[in-house]
Amino acid sequence: MEHTNPPGTPGKPALNVNLSELPYLKCEAEGCESEVFTEAMMIKKVSKFMTGNKEDSIAPIPVLACAKCGHVNELFLPKL
């Protein structure tokens, strides 16, 4: 079977993925195992000494948290 490349992706084979065959990710918290996640924010404090600003600032980082218990799976933690 020959794969065709979508426009704008020269040299990369098109993937034929059937989402119905893929498993849902589950919450890793003990006893939870929910498959529903919601967008949440982790906040980093940025020191004024690092930026040269007059005040400290914040850097919001979006993550996915379990909608049932709020746990953030290791896979969803930012790789900073």
User: If we measure between CA atoms, which residue out of 31, 29, 24, 27 comes closest to residue 64?
Assistant: 27
Paired residues of 37 in beta bridges: 66
E strands in 1-80: 37-46, 57-66
Q: For residues 49 and 46, what is the distance between their CA atoms, to the nearest angstrom?
A: 8
Lowest mean pLDDT of 14-18, 34-38, 44-48, name the range: 14-18
pTM of the model: 0.68
**Residue-averaged pLDDT of the chain:** 89
Look at the block and give the residue holding tokens 């746990």.
71
Q: For residues 17 and 27, what is the distance between their CA atoms, to the nearest angstrom?
A: 23
Q: For residues 49 and 62, what is the distance between their CA atoms, to the nearest angstrom?
A: 24
